[in-house]
Amino acid sequence: MIEIDGSYGEGGGQILRTSLTLSALTKKPFRIYNVRAKRQKPGLQRQHLTAVEAVKALTNAKTKGDFVGSTELIFEPQDIVESGHFTFNIGTAGSVTLVLQTVLPIILNRKIEIRLIGGTDVPKSPTIDYIRLVFLPLLTKIGIRGDINVVKRGHYPEGGGEVIIKNFKADPTSFSINTFGKLVRIIGISHVSSLPSHIAERQKTSAMSILAKLGVEVSIDLDIRENEISKGSGITLSAIGENSIIGADSLGERGKRAEVVGEEAAELLVKELKTGAATDSHMGDMLMLYASLYGGEYTSSYLTQHARTNAEIIKKFLNVSVEIIGESPYLFKAK
């Protein structure tokens, strides 16, 4: 059984999520202790427990310590199921995109549909539009395709968002995403839920005023939702290059002007582009698992403690050589 210290490095929930994914794929059981030891609320919270419940259901795993607040978990997976419809409700505004990241590699080429209920657009997590506009298009470059449907949006603190993941097929290959290439165009989605529609318009306008300086076509769609459980807004931007995609987003909050939301996302996108890397810092974390599974390399904008920690957890499960060169930008290689 693989032993994992959950306080290692970044000491957060990604250690658990990466362990769950790779345990399912390799059928290697693990024990993690000091779960999320470096967080304000240590132990399993609802979002983390939902990830455990999801992978447990998909692998008929035997578990011990899977309850809210637990600081130790034993996870022993069996075979991955081949088909089924599953619903996992976080029960809070906990991020559905983090649970999505956990299960996605597990359901490839299986007749599995998953409905996730919780937060689609919440702080400190990829927004659901970042997943759709940046993550999925990059996955197509390595042979992975599927559908993600946003039925309802969920914002902090109410949650109540609903996302359906299905039809994920893969013929993955080794990959090299080392250069962004020439910037071709920028697309985006500015959304608002159960708030005045002009908020989404203002987010879009302020973002476009900054992005216009880049000299390429900018197209930002509006997503206006009037009867959601939760109130909120946000904007996600995707810079499409000849060879890669870079994303950035920003969320609204009480007292934060819509213009500031749009400016934040645009300025972050410009900052990421200026590094010359092929991917943004969030995608650098997210691609690491796929590069390690299939053999790949890529450059990313800023090396985070999150990424360093993830690389060490991957090595516990996979017989793979990983190399990180540089910091900003940095090159990640796995073979």
Cβ pair 177, 127 in contact under 8 A: no
Cβ pair 121, 189 in contact under 8 A: no
The interaxial angle of helices 198-211 and 258-274, nearest 10 deg, is: 30
Question: Is 306 labeled as catalytic in the residue annotation?
Answer: yes
- For residue 178, the 8-state DSSP code is -
Cβ pair 98, 52 in contact under 8 A: no
Catalytic option among 48, 191, 282, 306: 306
Burial of 321 (0-12, 13-18, 19+ CB in 10 A): exposed
| Peptide linkage before 157 cis (omega within 30 of 0) | yes
Sign, CA dihedral 197-202-207-213, equals positive
The annotation status of 47 as a binding-site residue, yes or no, is: no
Annotated binding site for ATP: 101
**Feature table: binding site:** 101
Residues with catalytic annotation? 306
